[in-house]
Amino acid sequence: MWILVYTKAKQENRANFNLQNQGFVTFLPLISSQKELKNQNNYLPFFQVYFRKNRSRFRELDNHKVYIRVEKIVMFADKLTSVPNDIIKAIRSKLDDSDVFTKI
């Protein structure tokens, strides 16, 4: 099961890094956007951070304040909002090996 995490503004990469350092498997899809003036690639988050819930660490979700740069875990009616694996696979099929979508 994948859980959606809402990060603090412009802190997606840092939140992703911090969650990975805490042992979570994460997914942060990016969009490659080329700045016209500087002619360099800029990577923007496609969504907020997804991470795979580990059953043995489920109780840690209640204390998500320990996750640096995480604003909140997205919930609906006091239940975790999950993203099915097939949706994650469909998104990943459109990305390169670095989880980046390059505009055509």
Q: pTM for this one?
A: 0.71
Residue tagged 């942060």 (tokens): 28
Superfamily of domain 2-102: NusG, N-terminal domain (3.30.70.940)
Q: What is the pLDDT of residues 13-52, one digit of tens each?
A: 888 888 888 888 888 888 877 665 566 667 777 766 665 6
Q: What does the alpha-carbon distance between residue 12 and residue 69 come to, in Å, rounded to a whole number?
A: 8
Q: What is the pLDDT of residues 54-90, one digit of tens each?
A: 545 555 555 555 566 777 777 788 887 778 889 888 8
Q: What does the alpha-carbon distance between residue 90 and residue 104 come to, in Å, rounded to a whole number?
A: 18
Structural domain boundaries in the chain: 2-102
Question: Is-contact 69 10, C-beta < 8 A?
Answer: no
Q: Name the nearest CA neighbour of 50 among 76, 87, 79.
A: 87
